[in-house]
Amino acid sequence: MQKTFAMIKPDAVERNLIGKILSRIEEEGFSILGLKLVEMSKKQAQGFYAVHSERPFFDDLTTYMSSGKTVVMALEREDAILHWRNVMGSTNPDEADEGTIRKEFGESIERNSTHGSDAVETASEEISYWFSGIEV
């Protein structure tokens, strides 16, 4: 079993898609180990996305991520990281495969409804950013 971090972004929360995305997560065989509805501050968003701090889109990203509520989750299943990334689809909804969350719900590269870890180390860091050890 493997853990991954997943997030339902502000665009999906504001469009009342939490339930649909959570249903998909369960249908895909994930166990939800931790789940929180958070409204991150700009500083929290900057900390979470610090790896992108030198990128030109960093300010827009952190402004967007602190613009509304998000759902943060720790998920578990066999091959969780790759499976969640496949379920989400390509970062750009226009390039995402049919049947993926981002194809169905994403509006743009920025407003693409979900986030997921890309590696074991990243998943561990992202889970621990939002959850204490006793919460997951």
SS3 53: coil
Burial zone of 37 (CB within 10 Å; 0-12 exposed, 13-18 middle, 19+ buried): exposed
Positions marked catalytic: 115
In 1-136, where do the E strands start and end? 2-8, 31-38, 70-77, 114-116
Half-sphere exposure of 47 (CA within 13 A, CB side): 10
In contact, 38 and 69? CB cutoff 8 Å = yes
Distance between CA atoms of residues 22 and 17, nearest Å:
9
Distance between CA atoms of residues 23 and 50, nearest Å:
30
